[in-house]
Amino acid sequence: MGQNISITKPLINSIDELFGFIDMNENKNLSFHHHLRNGDGVINYVLQHYITKGITGLNLYPSSIFPAYTSILTLLKNQQINNITTNYCNGSVATYISENGLPGTFTMQTHGGRARSIQEGLSKIDIAFIAAPYVNIYGDAIGYDGKNCFGSMGYAVVDSEYAKITVLVTDTIVDEPISNPEILGKNVDYILKVDSIGDNSGIVSGTTEITKNPIGVKIAKNTSRLLHELGLIKNGFSFQSGAGGVSLRVTKDVKEIMKEQHIKASFFSGGITKYHVDMLEEGLVDELFDVQCFDLEAAHSLKRNKNHHAISASTYANPTNPAQVIKDLDVVILGATEIDLNFNVNVTTDSHQTIIGGSGGHSDTASEAKVSVIVSPLIKGRLCVIKERVTTITTLGKNVDCLVTERGIAINPLRQDLIEKLKDSKLKICTIEELLEKAYHYTNKPKNMIKREQIIGEIEDRTHDIIDYLYQK
């Protein structure tokens, strides 16, 4: 029998010391993960060094960009960045790029597409800086322990495997072995010790509470009824719902149906919250496949529950990975900033063309799930969510099956099987055109304000196809 030999990794005590080993000018493709979301302290810590040194021609590959990542804005204003490839972008960096673009290319991928792109060598990472809350001296790391635990490290795994240089940045180093590490020591080159990797309370950014808004409640009720009538809530079904308030309300309503009818699900996947954990602990679902934790309750569950699995982005949604979890997904509930008459969905820009988000796993899960359901108020403020053509295509309409609103449900005509199942339904089933007319009755038809002159970025689907462009606002 062979014997695993663990080798201690070089322990670095400052960023200055690190760049005594790494040539900053030779390694300008930098990646980061976003698991700490708005509580991340590592991106700004590392990039401040690049600001100070005035390094130019940088190419960034953060899995997402949150408002707290202000160092990126400084680098942009200093003209130090050429290209950015990411899955989600929100805050001042997003606004700056919407108004100014980049010297090079701004590429928005999906979570699965990012993993695929790195694996296939299309995204070449020189240095992966990985915030890691619990690391041992051999370079093994997990995300669900340590003073700044944040749960799954799913987005960082592929970076650690394929980057030329992998640097774990941590505030907790132990001597003991770690069982089932998410990041393997064999893929790690350096361990950089810092006082703090951030504030893990920042992972709860955005809506992670069940909505009580009556419109949201109505949409959720319509959704759970729809899933029930389609026969999708049955023993062994699989489900993904994310952390939006309406999605979580759908989860709650589905849970009630499951309890009433003694139904047990096989797995929930994607971003995991305390509500999903509760259902695991109540025996309503066999397993959780967790690529990112949306609250600390989920992070703590990963440590204590053997049926709560941390998975990599590749295992989650890489279309070329045979073990891809979402290929077995029955139902996914997703949001929309806009949806158009061809069921294309936009979660990337607002209607004024400012970048406000990105696909994340939106296109991945819509592509793979047997039924993808978009939940949204038909009228948001004074505007209809349905457009004749979305401002930006994030997810192709051919992968979107249902739109559920407070005033009715539209089924994509490509899914005649679903339409047939619902022909005797008491739910308000209508065409998406009819829903648009209902909304226009209240809002009237808005003027088209979209400018499509200067391209500032591209939307790359998980297939590597460019499915739309971002335009300067």
Partner 1 sequence: MSRSYLFIPGNTPNMIQNLDVFESDAVIIDFEDSVMSYDKDAARILIKNFLQKFHEQVGNIYIRINDVENSNFESDVNDTKDLHIAGYVLPKASVEAVNTLYKICNGLDIIPIIESPLALLESQKIAASKGVVGLLFGAEDFTKEMGIERTLEAKELLYPRSHIAVVCKAYNIEAIDTPYTAKDDETGLEQDAIAAKQLGFTAKALIHPNQVDAINRIFAPSPEEILQAKRIIKKSEESQKGAFSLDGKMIDLPIIEKAKKVLEKAQKYGL
**Eight-state DSSP code of residue 40:** B
- Stretch (H or E) spanning 457: strand 455-460
SS in 3 state form for 146-185?
CCCCCCCCHHHHHHHHHCCEEEEEECCEECCCCCCCCECH
295 lies in the site for partner 1, by CB under 8 A = no
Q: Which is nearer to partner 1, 16 or 256 (CB)?
A: 256
Q: Are 403 and 435 within 8 A, CB to CB?
A: yes
Which range of residues in 92-100, 207-215, 232-240, 272-280 is near partner 1 by CB under 8 A? 207-215
CA atoms within 13 A on the CB side of 117: 25
442 lies in the site for partner 1, by CB under 8 A = yes
Q: Which of 337, 344, 406 is nearest to 372 (CA)?
A: 344
Closest approach, Cβ 257 to partner 1, in A, equals 14
Q: Are 126 and 59 within 8 A, CB to CB?
A: no
> How many angstroms separate the CA atoms of 46 and 155, rounded?
18
Name residues contacting partner 1, limited to 104-123 (CB under 8 A).
none
Contact with partner 1 (CB under 8 A): which of 306, 423, 426, 447?
Answer: 426
Q: Which is nearer to partner 1, 164 or 218 (CB)?
A: 218
Which range of residues in 103-111, 148-156, 163-171, 213-221 is near partner 1 by CB under 8 A? 213-221
DSSP class per residue in 129-144: EEE-SEEETTS-EESS
Which range of residues in 170-178, 212-220, 271-279, 337-345 is near partner 1 by CB under 8 A? 212-220
186 lies in the site for partner 1, by CB under 8 A = no
21 lies in the site for partner 1, by CB under 8 A = no
Q: Which is nearer to partner 1, 212 or 306 (CB)?
A: 212
Which range of residues in 46-54, 112-120, 216-224, 361-369 is near partner 1 by CB under 8 A? 216-224
Closest approach, Cβ 217 to partner 1, in A, equals 5
297 lies in the site for partner 1, by CB under 8 A = no
Contact with partner 1 (CB under 8 A): which of 11, 173, 184, 215?
Answer: 215
Closest approach, Cβ 254 to partner 1, in A, equals 16
Size of the site for partner 1 (CB under 8 A): 12
Q: Which is nearer to partner 1, 154 or 244 (CB)?
A: 244
Q: Which residues, 6 or more positions from 364, have their beta carbon under 8 angstroms from its beta carbon? A: 110, 111, 112, 113, 316, 317, 319, 326, 462
> How many angstroms separate the CA atoms of 447 and 450, rounded?
9
338 lies in the site for partner 1, by CB under 8 A = no
DSSP-based three-state secondary structure for 194 = coil
Q: Which is nearer to partner 1, 310 or 379 (CB)?
A: 379
> How many angstroms separate the CA atoms of 269 and 326, rounded?
8
> How many angstroms separate the CA atoms of 357 and 394, rounded?
10
Q: Are 402 and 229 within 8 A, CB to CB?
A: no
Q: Which is nearer to partner 1, 194 or 227 (CB)?
A: 227
The contact mask relative to partner 1 for 43-62 (x = CB under 8 A, - = no) is --------------------
Contact with partner 1 (CB under 8 A): which of 186, 221, 327, 415?
Answer: 221
Contact with partner 1 (CB under 8 A): which of 30, 73, 191, 217?
Answer: 217
- Tokens representing 297 are 């309750």
The contact mask relative to partner 1 for 373-412 (x = CB under 8 A, - = no) is ------x--------------------------xx-----
**Eight-state DSSP code of residue 355:** B
> How many angstroms separate the CA atoms of 46 and 110, rounded?
25
Contacting residues toward partner 1, per CB under 8 A: 212, 214-215, 217-218, 221, 379, 406-407, 426, 441-442
